[in-house]
Structure 1
């Protein structure tokens, strides 16, 4: 095995550990500053944030160490030999995918349980039962990892047949898949996890329908999802495209906010649709897919060559290379997060402006956002480092300032 490959692997892990340490230190300094600027903020918000950061700091390098262990130990190749013995491409891919992804799932299970169950109960963010948590975790494995395993033969078939051009062919194949998933998710996948019911008749429904009509999306359905089983936090979103588009309100949002505040949040989510953020996101996702697949094509070729067969395989089309592909996919997605999240913050700012311009109600926008952060133990602002790399939304501090000072735009009848 080429020493450069070993050096690169060690350097990556060391860099991730330093990165995580720097992020925690930046957030620690940020919290000291917040304590001075917001002396009345609940101390639990600071404590919860740092506990979550410590868990994240462990999981970040671990997400790369685990696939590296599978590759460098040859364990991935051993799993492949067992699952592929006397079986065709589809069945061997299904079995290998379930075996590898299942092992990784159980490795991550204690961290998932601690972060999404123990911590959230400790800080009073949920009353979720252990059986409900197990149900959602199992369903998440079936939907996410199960689908990967079922269709694993497709990308590997492309790699085997077109070893030099699979990346752009795969990118083309992903275009209808991405669009289909955006369309089908609210209709099939989301209801698999929670119960969605049409919003009941009343003044809230009438108020939402009024702004939907004004925005030119009166044909969008309005649903309430029973998130109170899983969390005490609040949220709302607009999802789907074409005939599947819908406004979704968490029941916790309806139960804890005034009607004016709910309508304000709904206007924000509607703004994403009116401003074409969903279609822009699809276009950017497609472009990003081509770029990432090309980078994976280049880097995987060098890594396999540098391994000198130490992984147990010398061709990318072996299912045993799945840990390598997922590691590289994870790496390039992580490196691209500042750009992706920067675009997301621009979209959120545009939706914020649409919200206050549609409702002409700055106060409800502010109070709704403050309550959203309060119930989730959020802090008014993250560190600049965290915001640059991970924050998908402007900070609470920035959004309140924006809501109160930004000049309103004219909302044309029909939304455009």
Structure 2
């Protein structure tokens, strides 16, 4: 284990040195914050793998699973206790890394949320994480025990209604736990926003404003929810700190997501992707388990001791397939941009708006191909601005 930890330390040193001094960062700010966030992302991702690998290597893990098996008779209870304790332990171990991410955003003046509020939010998110992991461990073990050949399909069928229910209630019950949502306030631009939305068949009741100025100065807007809960959400920082024409272009972009049903297409794609992913796991897991079961003294795939291995394989496979999901997301964003371009007379405000967005967020406007593949849900700002400049020239 010591060699593995040492090797990981060397990897982190090389990673941070590269993004600090060698990475070709293109940004509108004088800060290297965007490059540091790239390094932080890959640190977080690989940290999860190292923790799970270390748990597999640990003698304490072997003893702890035996204690659970001796003291709890029902398998679902064993799964609950193990899943909850594993998730809790991971959150506590990850807390210094989470604090580093918070500190970086504070240092770059991107985030100004008080530490007390941040810790409270971290606690709530940790509770959700513990519940999700516990439920996942219970469902996965029960399905793998009962449906040995088609466990992957049974997991998907159980997760399907739960996922849709959570997506349905998210805007109404979950998101308000973390942010303060309200109907659009009476501002100088409200009538313009409502009028543009009405022209696209969107009611004022489906447009919300969220108070983000207590946490950040950056800008954003998005579409969320399913069915009657489907809505456009605009950050108050966007309304208060951007020019009227800039806000309206961003709104046109979000209207495109709304009328093109990108949320539904995204959900459908995610569900199909998860089914393929589970089938892939069903093929890969037995091979890797046979390769390493003696090394880590594992008896069966369904044992408690095997859970970190299953989570490790799942995490790595999710990371490896992330570029496909992100590519689809970027295509949807380009489609929404095109809709907004077609419904906007002058694109100069849009160009300035995207530039302002990049300035406030101190983002990397032209990332390397590798970074774009693994991090970017939206096309880089530089590409989006170039597309709008070309469209503006065509309009003229």
The change in CA–CA distance for 1:80 and 1:24 in structure 2 (over 3 A counts) is: same
Task: Establish whether residue 43 from structure 1 lines up as the match of residue 30 from structure 2.
Answer: yes
- Taking the aligned partners of 2:39 and 2:136, their CA distance within structure 1 comes to 35
Superposed CA deviations along residues 248-307 of structure 1, whole A, max 9, x for unmatched, are 111221221123222221221121122221111112111211121122222221222223
- Taking the aligned partners of 2:300 and 2:344, their CA distance within structure 1 comes to 58
Deviation at 1:21, TM superposition (A): 4.2
- Taking the aligned partners of 1:343 and 1:235, their CA distance within structure 2 comes to 20
Check conservation: 2:87, 2:129, Cα contact below 8 A: no
Count residues with an aligned counterpart: 389
Check conservation: 1:224, 1:250, Cα contact below 8 A: yes
Secondary structure at the aligned position of 1:359 is classed as coil
Q: State how 1:279-290 maps to structure 2 within 5 Å.
A: 279-290=264-275
Partner of 2:99: 113
- Taking the aligned partners of 2:391 and 2:160, their CA distance within structure 1 comes to 37
Provide structure 2 residue ranges, at least 5 long, that are not aligned to the other structure. none
Bigger mean CA offset, 379-388 vs 55-64:
55-64
The change in CA–CA distance for 1:204 and 1:219 in structure 2 (over 3 A counts) is: closer
- Taking the aligned partners of 2:324 and 2:109, their CA distance within structure 1 comes to 34
Deviation at 1:332, TM superposition (A): 1.0
Q: State how 1:400-415 maps to structure 2 within 5 Å.
A: 400-406=385-391
Which of 133, 138, 159 is the equivalent residue of 1:174? 159
TM-score of the aligned structures, taking structure 1 as reference length: 0.85
Superposed CA deviations along residues 71-90 of structure 1, whole A, max 9, x for unmatched, are 13354443333334224333
Deviation at 1:202, TM superposition (A): 4.3
The change in CA–CA distance for 1:335 and 1:151 in structure 2 (over 3 A counts) is: closer
- Taking the aligned partners of 2:170 and 2:22, their CA distance within structure 1 comes to 38
Q: How big is the alpha-carbon RMSD for the aligned residues of Structure 1 and Structure 2?
A: 2.9
- Taking the aligned partners of 2:333 and 2:60, their CA distance within structure 1 comes to 44
Partner of 1:101: 87
Deviation at 1:167, TM superposition (A): 0.6
- Taking the aligned partners of 2:392 and 2:108, their CA distance within structure 1 comes to 38
Q: State how 1:124-143 maps to structure 2 within 5 Å.
A: 124-143=109-128
Partner of 2:347: 362
Secondary structure at the aligned position of 1:152 is classed as helix
Partner of 1:324: 309
Partner of 1:341: 326
- Taking the aligned partners of 1:51 and 1:253, their CA distance within structure 2 comes to 25
Deviation at 1:336, TM superposition (A): 0.8
Q: State how 1:212-223 maps to structure 2 within 5 Å.
A: 212-218=197-203, 221-223=206-208
Deviation at 1:389, TM superposition (A): 3.1
* Aligned structure 1 segments of 4 or more residues deviating by more than 6 angstroms: none
- Taking the aligned partners of 2:293 and 2:121, their CA distance within structure 1 comes to 42
- Taking the aligned partners of 1:284 and 1:360, their CA distance within structure 2 comes to 33
- Taking the aligned partners of 1:206 and 1:82, their CA distance within structure 2 comes to 64
Q: State how 1:10-409 maps to structure 2 within 5 Å.
A: 17=11, 21=15, 24=18, 28-31=22-25, 34=26, 41-44=28-31, 47-84=32-69, 85-116=71-102, 118-150=103-135, 152-218=137-203, 221-406=206-391
- Taking the aligned partners of 2:20 and 2:36, their CA distance within structure 1 comes to 15
